[in-house]
Chain A
Amino acid sequence: MLDRRSLLKIGAAAPAVAVSGGVLNQVRALPISGGKDFSPITGMERKAIPSACWQCVTRCPSISYVEDGRLVKIEGQPNSIRTHGVMCSKGQAGVNQYSDPDRILHPMRRVGPRGSGQWKRISWDEALEELTGRLQKLRDDGTPEKFMFHYGRMKASHSKLINTFLANYGTASKGNHTAICEAAKWTGQELTWGKHYDNWDFDNTRFVLNFGSNVLEAHTNHVPSAHRLIARITDHNVRLVTFDVRLSNTAAKSSEWVPVVPGTDRAVVLAMCNVIMSEDLYKGDGEEFLKYCKVTANNAATVEEKVAALKTHLAEYTPEWAEGVSGVPAGKIAEIAREVAMAKPACIISYRGAVASYHGADTERAVQMLAAITGNIDQPGGRCKAVGASWKYPKGPKDKPKARKLKIADGLPGAAKLPTHHVSHQVLKMIKDGSHGRPDVYMSYCYTAVYANGDVQENIDILKDESLIPFSVNVNPYYDESAALADLILPDTPFTERWGWEDMVSPAQIPEYYIRQPAVKPLGECRDFADVCIDMAERMGFPLGYKSHEEFVQASCEMTPAVKAAGGFEYMKANGVYHDPAAKPAFYSYKKVLSPEKYQKETVVKDPQTGTYWDWKKAKLESAEEALAKGYLKTKGSYKAYVGVEVDGQVLSGFKPDKVNLSGLFEIYSDVMKDADLPAMPSWTAIPEYEAKKPEDLILTTYKHAAQIHSRSANCKYLTEVFHDNPAWLNPETAKTKGIADGDAIKVISASGELLTTARVTPAIVPGAIAIAHHCGHWEYGRYASGKKAPLVEADEADADRIWWTSKGAHPNWIIGNRADPISGQLRFMDTVVKVEKA
């Protein structure tokens, strides 16, 4: 029968010569729709400005449309290899960051008591004169470390430029925010394969196994990953299995949702590894990959020895044991384990749901182990080493002062043993503690310490206390909960009015270079903080060598070979994005064989214990003898001197370490963990609070919604209109035991305090848990977030028309402690033990 399938078979078998030799040459790429927009009223084409988003960390390339000097719309960039032009609701609502009616347009100085809400507009000159006066004094006194800079979102060119300012000023007292995000994941990766960030190659995968990632709603590479995953599911019928406490929208779109007790994903992963090893399902790709792994104390162990070590270590983690811990049926664990081992390739993914809990870093190590023994590391369709743009940029003055720092970024003593991304949520506690010094000037940038961390009341008390923090500066386009407690507010520009170059990870494994351009000039007196840093450096007598962020971006475009070859700054302004059309996706980075001149240098030695080649000069040692005597693992910061690693007699690039001294092998067995008195192999460690938990207690977990960013979007009207209330999810079985019905007012009590909210009784959550979303319950941050209205609104409607919703939800961080994963310092957002009762 002549059907379509038979016809295509003829096509497949057609000789190559028959389909070549035509007369058409492709002279330009296929036209893509998008990239243009028109006014619905005048029909005139709107000005399209290629730019980049800054709503979430994904920072997707975008196009801003400007009509009559007004930013009217933001869309995806159709030429982006990362997004293919897709843009999420959060990105499109970026226009609201520009048009927030409660934006701060002028510098402001506090006049009443701190936190009283009394302010005075001041000029930039007054603001910077006072600030640089204080900073100059600290510098002159030889105590630049008393200027502490605490940032939330600071990436790419912003990060480079602002850090250049801080380095030239001389302070290394910096705080970040990663421990409230996914520090456990990064530490777990740094302990296994070196530099963090795993890209998920959905484009080529055949099966996706998900532990606690809500990738379709929120992710550090959200749309670039999510739209690929959806395409893979719909076009190729790829199965996605999601382990989650909650039926997230990702779980709902999965082939299977497997509910799991919060904080116990690691037990499931270990049991899957047990099944794979005991049933010899590692054979093939997994076995092949074991060649590159360290599985025992002996780096030179044979594959057979490694297999034996894995089998021995995993023997106790049976599916039946895991069922007891996680609530996931043993049969289901074994079934999915077999499926992931058979699918070639499988992409094993994980995120905060699995790692923001006790020993979360070890959960990430366990997931890495699962991907390793199934042969799904850094290969098409698997869990890959990240690829991003490598920008060159002006480095600023050559002679920098030796930076000094207050050691307050890594948490209370003993809080975390390997906080490679610091313990940001305990910075304020450390300031209160005072044992490691306190800053005289505390500056926060794109970061709301009060709202985003746990123990909200404690954060407020510390930030309000002038005896703990004498001078507090907040750089912010908006009046949020932290700005309200500052002494000086410097009005930053929203991303819609800024320059920048960007470098976020490319899910295509081909780097994408892109820039951000202002859609409009800054409103009011707002200034990009990067420009303010350039200004402050000039005022204090150490000019950075460029006059503006724009000039910095321009210079970077001309200095970066790939971008310069494409046409430099002018090309980037016109097109926004660039990737090499001839580039092939980068996989198997660890297999690259090093040329002898790289490791046969005079300054390079081979460490006998690890097989690691390292450059003793870069490790600041005096000689090869000293290096050999001290050893690679025992030399502080030797990872910075890493060159390569020997595998089967060849010197390979291996897994380049970062932050800790890794051998260059993929470390399932970790010397670093062992030396820190932590489990050398990924292991189950009981959660102390669960051990003490009473049967009626519940476990509080948190999550993000697709239409909000963690803490920086509730001022966006379009988003808060969609998501503004977050009743607490309770399983009907759990609710029944407490006599709670859907819609009831409830009280949630933890060691940190009490929270009043309402119950949403739904089978979409595992019994014994309670889930409260982030984003809600603001008490500052403008009218849309806080619900505060101008006077007369009730009487005269006005805003009542626009703010039709009445609840603003509850903020769970009031009752979540700033408790750290003892390995990484990650804030444990997912395993707070609470009591719940009817209010």
Chain B
Amino acid sequence: MERAKLYGLLASLFRREPGPDLLTQLRSPGFHDLLSETGLDLGDEFFSDPLDDVRDRLQVEYTFLFLGPGKHISPHESVQLKRGSGILWGEETSIVKQFMAAAGFDLDETANEIPDHIGVELEFLSHLSTKEAEAWQAGDQEAAAAALGWQHRFVSNNIGKWVGRFCREVEVAAETPFYAEFAKLLRTFIAGEKSEIVDRLAKADGKSQRS
């Protein structure tokens, strides 16, 4: 379940600016230690400054990085994909939407999100890895294999193709450590996921074949 949770956390961090609840949890001593162990350094100010100040700073930085008038680091697959269409709601976006629909997920129409936003893509993987974890718990290897199959295709054909470049841009452009460090985390995590998912798939396939 920890993979699903990490996807979920990253989805929240990149979907929009962090709210006070999320920030309070991230600033808790336990999480601080955990981050230090992982080698992620969000900077002392992140933990010591008043919550509202930190929140304000991150709101400005999020807008600067992802919402337009700053660095042009689009959080959308159709814009980021190398040799892609380079436009918002491009054909790549349709493919992502169709893929999510094929996997049984429909975008909440009221949310006005674009399906290939980094936050939505990470949320999708969070759901898929939750399904997978639940399947393992229930001893249903076939369901686990199915959930992994969707993950494998999505990481290989979609998010894995652009997230590395997106994260490196954030690492270069970010003015405070917060987004730079989480971008590094995201990049490293997805890079590892490529082989992790293959391994898990082999395991699930093997088990489901044996049973």
Contact = CB atoms under 8 A, between A and B. Distances in A.
Interface of A: 67-71, 96, 98-106, 108, 111-112, 117-121, 479, 483-484, 520-525, 717, 780, 782-783, 788-792, 796-799, 801-802
Given A479-B68, A790-B169, 4 more contacts: A67-B94, A96-B87, A524-B112, A801-B86
A484 B69 CA distance: 8
Residue with the highest number of chain A CB atoms closer than 10 Å, among B56, B74, B98: B74
Nearest to A780: B69
A792 B165 contact: yes
B126 to A, nearest CB: 22
A119 B165 contact: no
Nearest to A782: B72
A104 B63 CA distance: 10
Contacts, number: 116
Contacts of A102: 68, 72, 74
B119 to A, nearest CB: 13
Contacts of B74: 101-102, 790
Contact of B82 (A101, A119, A483, A797): A797
Q: Which secondary structure dominates where chain A touches chain B?
A: loop
Contact of A791 (B80, B87, B97, B172): B172
A799 B83 CA distance: 8
B90 interface: yes
B68 A118 contact: no
B80 A100 contact: no
B154 interface: no
B165 A798 contact: yes
Interface size class of B (residues with CB under 8 A): 35 or more
B190 interface: no
A623 to B, nearest CB: 61
Interface string B78-99: 0110110111111101100110
10 contacts: A69-B94, A69-B97, A101-B74, A119-B63, A523-B89, A523-B114, A790-B71, A790-B74, A798-B82, A801-B86
A170 B91 CA distance: 46
B22 to A, nearest CB: 16
Contact of B72 (A70, A71, A789): A789
A803 to B, nearest CB: 8
A798 B72 contact: no
Contact of A792 (B60, B69, B169): B169
Contact of B69 (A71, A100, A119): A119
Given A121-B62, A524-B112, A108 B67 contact: yes
Nearest to A106: B67
B59 interface: yes
A743 B4 CA distance: 59
Nearest to A797: B82
Contacts of A523: 88-89, 112, 114
B71 A99 contact: no
Contact of B71 (A791, A796, A797): A791
Contacts of A120: 56, 59-60, 63
Contacts of B73: 790-791
Contact of B165 (A71, A118, A788, A796): A796
Contacts of B168: 792, 796
Contact of A121 (B63, B76, B91, B169): B63
Contacts of A117: 64, 69-70
B140 interface: no
A659 to B, nearest CB: 40
A801 B63 contact: no
